[in-house]
Amino acid sequence: MAEIQFETKPATQFELFAGLESTSHEQIVFCQDNATGLKAIIAIHNTVLGPGLGGTRMWYYEHEKDAVRDALRLSRGMTYKAAVAGLNLGGAKAVIIGDPKTQKSEALMRKFGRFVNNLNGKYITAEDVGTTTKDMEYVNMETEHVVGLPESMGGGGDPSPVTAYGTYMGIKASAKQAYGNDSLAGKKVAVMGIGKVGWHLLEYLHKEGVKLFIADINESILKQAADEFGATVVSLGEIYGLDVDIFAPCALGGILNDQTLPQLKCSVIAGAANNQLEDETIHGNIIKEKGIVYAPDFVINAGGLINVYSEYTGYVRERAMAQTESIYQTILDINKLAIDANINTQIAAIKHAEKRINDMMLVHSTY
Ligand code: NAD
């Protein structure tokens, strides 16, 4: 699917629908409320499989078109993530324009909740960058179409441990693809980013006897992880070039690029970070040519989405974990698809998602 090219015309010639033709989004809602200062965009990409689910990001955007582009790009990603995870969910995302530190209020979040409610369940929201569980409690005062609520309110709580479990499953499947068996004992794994997901991932890897190398910008978390898991701390400059078996990016997006890929010595790249490839085709192909097994990010990190989906259908932690385990098989299936079609695994995962959506379109063609 083509990227959206809004920047090709000067602001005075900004043609919204022309930009949208290339993206095939179903619906885009612009939400405006002067009293609370709410300016939000809800982008619903595709609801063939079910209601569009995706978090609400609150961010200060210098240009409004950047907010539109973010909402369109992220909602498309949610469609693929849900489709590959086998969920009956479509893809959507919301963006609130504003500084979350200074411009957020109960009134703003509840007004946003009313806009969500007006979509009658076609869009289900959740927390994302710049919004919190508390914000979702406010949204929930105005609509039931919200997930990611605290356990005390019947929700699934923090999805990070489930995301970490799915990432661990994806690492094991990728190891099986690369080495013929999925045992990680004695393997050297470099984890970049020891946040909510990275920490839980270290727990799983440590339990299996992995030799851990870690990097982060947060010195204190590095010290804690070194003490707890016997991990070796390395600098951010060093981590790409380490002589390790597996590299697990769990911090930022865009880190697989022209600068970093030539440094890698690993046989597997498998981590939780979103949008790891700076360019899906160019950098996905370089990884393929280097013979590295790459676990597509939106496949391996779907545990969090599976967790909130489970909340939507009546939360049971065991069911969320069991469904997350299936990431192992999905990673193997996508590797086979990529090898058979001689394409990179990221593109194979997108094709896998599109096939499921197209198949279900046929199913839904009659009542
Ligand atoms: P987090 O904010 O808790 O942790 C991110 C970690 O990365 C922090 O420790 C931070 O210090 C570190 N970091 C930031 N900038 C860095 C840099 N330049 N170099 C190295 N480390 C840096 O986030 P998280 O919830 O653990 O998520 C990690 C990644 O996984 C993100 O890309 C996120 O989008 C993705 N993800 C998370 C979930 C989830 O359930 N939390 C689900 C799907 C995808």
CB atoms within 10 A of CB 202: 24
Superfamily of domain 160-302+329-353, CATH level 4: NAD(P)-binding Rossmann-like Domain (3.40.50.720)
Q: Is the beta carbon of 251 within 6 A of some atom in ligand 1?
A: yes
- Decide: 129 in ligand 1 pocket, CB within 6 A: no
340 Cα to the center of ligand 1, angstroms: 33
User: What is the pLDDT averaged over residues 2-24?
Assistant: 58
Ligand 1 lined by 164 (C-beta under 6 Å): no
| 3-state class (DSSP) for residue 43 | strand
pLDDT at 151: 84
If you search the block for the tokens 């930022």, which residue do you land on? 252
Average pLDDT in the chain: 93
Q: Decide if pLDDT at 29 tops 60.
A: yes
How much distance in Å is there from the Cα of 216 to the middle of ligand 1? 10
> Considering 39, 81, 93, 187, which one is annotated as catalytic?
93
Atom nearest to 158 CA in ligand 1: 40
23-77+89-146: which CATH topology? Answer: Rossmann fold (3.40.50)
Q: Is any atom of ligand 1 closer than 6 Å to the C-beta of 301?
A: yes
Please work out whether the CB of residue 272 comes within 6 Å of at least one atom of ligand 1.
yes
Distance 63 CA to ligand 1 centre (A): 25
Please indicate whether the domains covering 23-77+89-146 and 160-302+329-353 agree at the CATH topology level: yes
Distance (Å, whole) CA 60 – CA 254: 20
| Structural contact between residues 145 and 124, judged by C-beta atoms closer than 8 angstroms | yes
What is the per-residue pLDDT across 52-103, written as a single tens digit (0 to 9) for each?
999 999 999 999 989 998 999 899 999 999 999 999 999 999 999 999 999 9
93 noted as active-site residue: yes
Residue whose pair of structure tokens reads 């600068």 in the numeric block: 259
Atom of ligand 1 nearest to the CA of 272: 30
Rounded-to-integer distance, Cα 219 and Cα 222, Å = 5
Q: CB of 304 closer than 6 A to ligand 1? A: yes
Q: What residues does each domain of the chain span?
A: 23-77+89-146, 160-302+329-353
User: Which residues fall within 8 angstroms of residue 12, CB to CB, at 6 or more apart?
Assistant: none
Q: How far is the CA of 105 from the centre of ligand 1 (A)?
A: 25
What was the pLDDT predicted at 12? 52
Q: How far apart are CA 263 and CA 230, in angstroms?
A: 25
What's this model's pTM, rounded to 2 decimal places?
0.91
Question: Tens digits of per-residue pLDDT, 337-359?
Answer: 999 999 999 999 999 999 999 99
Task: Return the number of other C-beta atoms located less than 10 Å from residue 185's C-beta.
Answer: 8
pLDDT in tens, 139-188: 999 999 999 888 888 888 888 999 999 999 999 999 999 999 999 999 99
Please state the φ and ψ torsions of residue 27, each to the nearest 5 degrees. Answer: -155, 140
Which residues, listed in sequence order, are joined to residue 96 by a DSSP beta bridge? 40, 58
Cα(253) to centroid of ligand 1, in Å?
Answer: 9
The pair phi, psi for residue 294, each rounded to 5°, is: -110, 125
Measured by CA distance, the residue closest to atom 40 of ligand 1 is 160
- Using a 10 angstrom Cβ sphere, with 0-12 exposed, 13-18 middle and 19 or more buried, the burial of residue 291 is exposed
Closest ligand 1 atom to residue 301 Cα is: 43
pLDDT at 1: 44
